[in-house]
Amino acid sequence: MAVKITIEPFGVFEGKQVQKFSFVEDNGISVSIINYGAKIISITTPDKNGNKENIVIGFGTMEEYIEHDIFYIGGVCGRYAGRINKGNFLIDGKEYFVSTNVEGFCLHGGFKGFDRVYWDATVLPEGDGVAFSYLSKDGEEGFPGNLKITVTYRVFNNELQIRYHAATDKATPINLTNHSYFNLSAKREKNILNHHLQLNGTVIAEVNENLIPTGRFIPVANTELDFSALRRIGEASAKLGEFDHSWLILRENAGLEEAATIVDIESGRKLTVYTTTPAVHFYSGYYLEHGKLGKYAGLCIETQHFGDSPNRPEFPNTILYPGKEYRQETMFQFSVMQ
């Protein structure tokens, strides 16, 4: 399926021109991304009647993104996506202190995470995607090491592929994800409570009152957190209210594994998410009401490692050492239900 690309100015950030890169498939999806925060600003997909509409929360100006930057909308979260308790951790016996942008912990990389920086951009030779690169300098937000990151977006066959790569000159925690808010109904005035969700996991990381993992995994069978089969989100949220939890993905191998399926029956749209990460984090957009977007206006499926992993040796390792490479891949597959 052929892909057409357009590049146009989007705004200015810290004196640099921000560009919008749009990729349009013939008879398929369209994706637009900007190099401020490597943010996905729109994903247009057809419904069951062939109507193409944007299914992610996005804005048309830099000013709007800066106004709503507390929600990480569409951006790449890092250096560490999720929470780090008390903003400190040990690596090989040395203690590090990073920004505590939320009282008591570091969230999504600190006060100025990767979703709030300018990324250099290069269109792929095939013309079907773009590679964003960023150098996170030693000491940025308190994290050790000069970390070179590349995030590559590629559009093909009604799929959006995101590949992450990083290398460092000093041992450092790393956990990257994309923080797009999906609403498959494509109608901002609606919420996602009538969406149906399935997650490929039977246990979650137990958390305390600040949503910091305790290190334990607990089963979700027959609870409000049980999404082992397609289930209407509103049914579960009627009792629980907020979803902000990480599921351990059931894996058959180390490659791409199905992590989540989202369905909007009214529009017929379906999103299937595949990833190489050990966890999938479901956030229901509960606090979007504070940004005039509306509670539950969109949901996030964050493919990543578990929160506070640098302090939890029982979790999969998130420390990257010099000479090693960080690699992660996530695939969003868009379709219409038959």
Residues designated as active site: 179, 302
| Distant-in-sequence, close-in-space partners of 187: CB < 8 Å, separation ≥ 6 | none
Closest CA to 255 of 325, 163, 190, 183: 163
Q: Do residues 116 and 211 make contact, with C-beta atoms less than 8 angstroms apart?
A: no
Distance set, CA 127 to CA 3, 24, 40, 152, 187 (Å): 7, 11, 17, 12, 30
Q: Got the DSSP string for 273-302?
A: EEESSSEEEEE--GGGGGGTS-TTS-BEEE
Closest C-alpha to 98, from 79, 115, 117: 79
Q: What is residue 305's DSSP assignment?
A: P
- By three-state DSSP, how is residue 142 classified? helix
335 forms beta bridges with 270
Asked if residues 151 and 132 have their Cβ atoms less than 8 Å apart, the reply is: yes
Nearest to 111 by CA among 148, 140, 146, 144: 140
